[in-house]
Amino acid sequence: MSMYEYSFIPADDMDFVPTPEKIERLQTLLEPYSTHFSVKAGGRREFFGSGFMYEGIRCPLCGQEIDEIWWVKELERISEQNGFEDMRILTPCCAHPSSLDKLTYPWPAGFARFSVKLGTDDEPDFDNGPAERLLPEIEQTVGRRMKLIVEKY
Ligand SMILES: [Zn+2]
């Protein structure tokens, strides 16, 4: 199994799904890079985060740090109840209406219906690693700005 998983998701449109032609071109682009990659498009929204440590998430309204346990519970509740279709929450710190995706995440995170995952044993090198070099190519192929999320196993 790979040590690192690189996920590319749309940077600012969680419901974006490329056309089947674009997905086919994307698969052709990815094949030489990795023997284990997967493209998911059109299913339910999924959460992409950088690992299992959820410290440092902050409330966008009062700036307080959000309790990690509260956040994990809300993530699970919303996932089970509506598959991230309705992410409205009441902030635990200042009791204001907000949304799970609008919290301030200190690390790359996001929700998406479309994702490209690549497994690799290489440690992330954010200046010229293969995944970083792939980012603009993926963006060009699908026609959307994307962001990269790295998970370590
Ligand atoms: Zn607050």
* Separation of alpha carbons 6 and 117, rounded Å: 6
Neighbours of ion ligand 1 (CB under 5 A): 59, 61-62, 91, 93-94
Q: Could you tell me the distance, in angstroms and rounded to a whole number, from the CA of residue 63 to the centre of ligand 1? A: 6
| 124 touches 50 (CB < 8 A) | no
* Separation of alpha carbons 116 and 135, rounded Å: 10
Per-residue pLDDT of the chain (153 residues; tens, 9 = 90+): 567 888 999 999 999 999 999 999 999 999 887 777 899 999 999 999 886 677 899 999 999 999 999 999 999 999 999 999 999 999 999 999 999 999 999 988 999 999 999 887 777 766 667 778 889 999 999 999 999 998 877
Distances (CA, A) of 90 to 48, 49, 81, 99, 102: 22, 21, 16, 8, 12
* Separation of alpha carbons 87 and 98, rounded Å: 8
Distances (CA, A) of 24 to 28, 38, 41, 131: 6, 12, 12, 19
Which one-letter DSSP state was computed for residue 65?
Answer: B
* Separation of alpha carbons 111 and 84, rounded Å: 8
Q: Could you tell me the distance, in angstroms and rounded to a whole number, from the CA of residue 66 to the centre of ligand 1? A: 8
Q: Could you tell me the distance, in angstroms and rounded to a whole number, from the CA of residue 65 to the centre of ligand 1? A: 8
| Domain edges within the chain | 4-49+109-152, 54-106
Q: Could you tell me the distance, in angstroms and rounded to a whole number, from the CA of residue 149 to the centre of ligand 1? A: 26
> Taking the domain 4-49+109-152, which CATH number applies?
3.30.70
* Separation of alpha carbons 139 and 67, rounded Å: 35
Q: Could you tell me the distance, in angstroms and rounded to a whole number, from the CA of residue 91 to the centre of ligand 1? A: 6
Q: Could you tell me the distance, in angstroms and rounded to a whole number, from the CA of residue 98 to the centre of ligand 1? A: 9
Q: Could you tell me the distance, in angstroms and rounded to a whole number, from the CA of residue 73 to the centre of ligand 1? A: 17
Residue 93 sits at the vertex; the CA angle it makes with 90 and 97, to the nearest 5 degrees, is 25
* Separation of alpha carbons 106 and 139, rounded Å: 24
Q: Could you tell me the distance, in angstroms and rounded to a whole number, from the CA of residue 152 to the centre of ligand 1? A: 30
Q: Could you tell me the distance, in angstroms and rounded to a whole number, from the CA of residue 27 to the centre of ligand 1? A: 42
* Phi, psi (deg, nearest 5) at residue 75: -60, -45
Q: What is the pTM of this model?
A: 0.89
